[in-house]
């Protein structure tokens, strides 16, 4: 066999180091997650690319120095988004206006459900579905929100309220928490404003929506938010205050139970629990 010198070499069929240096995004799409989690492997990869090209230090754009760092950040962001997308936060199940006011000139006073009454309704309905909740170790949510509880609310000038709410119940098996927004919780949506009024307004439904938005963005658990429907005393057909108040409270309890029943349908539909 006669040996002949090669005058022109063929380009390799596989991507070269130079090619990856010019196109770092290709490398980021092909590195296994386990490699990036291991700092020794990631460092070795960067060193391999860096030393594999002796002219890299002459380049104005030292892409390879930041390849692994950028890839790592990209992967972490993707993984974080996947985890967040896996968390399911229920919509607000609207049953009842959840609004009212107390004080002078109020002709149709609101009737509120106490937190104990609400928890009894919620826990019993969920227990019937074999779902139990720990009411002690609920996650704590801290965030800033519009100060809707301020007596003189001016959305353009008022400072945000610093809200801190401990979720009323948590189930570790399904990683799901629930909160009942009472009038007490509504008052947590108050800023440091010194403005006062003789009429106190309430909007538990709006507070529930704001809390739900925060959970949707940052919650680490599946979650649902219920709210006090806030029924009102109606004196048109009865002059008996106590009887009208009892009737209004029973109406609120019924509306809250409808919220819970909608939630039970939702968690089954979302396959959070088996049907």
> pLDDT by residue for the chain (275 residues), tens digit each?
677 777 677 776 766 767 766 766 666 566 777 766 676 766 776 666 555 555 545 454 444 445 555 545 555 544 444 444 589 999 999 999 999 877 655 567 889 999 999 999 999 999 999 999 999 989 999 999 999 988 775 555 567 899 999 999 999 999 999 999 999 999 999 987 766 666 678 999 999 999 999 999 999 999 999 999 999 887 666 667 788 889 999 999 999 999 999 999 999 999 988 76
Per-residue confidence (pLDDT) for residue 196, from 0 to 100: 63
Contact between 176 and 222 under an 8 Å Cβ cutoff? The reply is yes
Considering only CA atoms, which of 135, 150, 224 is closest in space to residue 186? 150
Find the Cα–Cα–Cα–Cα dihedral 99, 105, 110, 114, rounded to 10°.
100
Contact between 92 and 227 under an 8 Å Cβ cutoff? The reply is yes
Give the CA angle between residues 131, 215, 191 to the nearest 5°: 125
Per-residue confidence (pLDDT) for residue 80, from 0 to 100: 47
The rounded Cα 40 to chain-centroid distance in angstroms is: 35
Q: Round to whole Å and give the CA distance between 144 and 120.
A: 29
Per-residue confidence (pLDDT) for residue 121, from 0 to 100: 98
Contact between 160 and 179 under an 8 Å Cβ cutoff? The reply is no
Start-end of H helices in 98-165 = 115-127
Per-residue confidence (pLDDT) for residue 130, from 0 to 100: 93
pTM listed for this prediction? 0.68
Per-residue confidence (pLDDT) for residue 62, from 0 to 100: 46
Strands 110-111 and 231-232: antiparallel
Q: Round to whole Å and give the CA distance between 270 and 275.
A: 10
Contact residues for 85 (Cβ-Cβ < 8 A; gap 6+): none
């Amino acid at each position: 066999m006669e040996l002949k010198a090669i005058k022109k070499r063929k380009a390799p069929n596989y991507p070269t180091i130079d090619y990856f240096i010019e196109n770092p995004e290709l490398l980021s799409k092909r590195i296994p997650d386990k490699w990036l989690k291991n700092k020794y492997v990631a460092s070795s990869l960067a060193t391999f690319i860096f030393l594999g090209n002796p002219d890299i230090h002459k380049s104005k754009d030292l892409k390879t120095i930041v390849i692994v760092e950028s890839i790592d950040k990209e992967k972490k962001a993707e993984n974080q988004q996947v985890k967040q997308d896996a968390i399911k936060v229920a919509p607000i199940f609207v049953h009842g206006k959840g609004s009212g006011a107390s004080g002078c000139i109020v002709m149709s006073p609101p009737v509120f459900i106490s937190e104990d009454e609400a928890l009894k309704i919620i826990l019993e309905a969920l227990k019937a579905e074999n779902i139990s909740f720990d009411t002690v170790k609920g996650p704590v949510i801290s965030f800033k929100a519009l100060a809707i509880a301020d007596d003189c609310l001016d959305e353009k000038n008022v400072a945000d309220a610093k809200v801190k709410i401990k979720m009323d119940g948590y189930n570790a098996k399904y990683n799901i928490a629930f909160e009942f927004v009472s009038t007490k919780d509504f008052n947590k949506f108050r800023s440091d404003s010194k403005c006062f009024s003789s009429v106190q307004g309430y909007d538990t439904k709006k507070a529930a929506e704001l809390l739900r938005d925060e959970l949707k963005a940052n919650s680490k658990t599946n979650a649902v938010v219920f709210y006090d429907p806030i029924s009102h005393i109606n004196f048109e057909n009865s002059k008996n205050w106590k009887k009208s108040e009892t009737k209004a409270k029973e109406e609120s309890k019924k509306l809250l139970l409808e919220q819970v029943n909608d939630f039970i349908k939702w968690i089954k539909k979302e396959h959070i629990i088996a049907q």
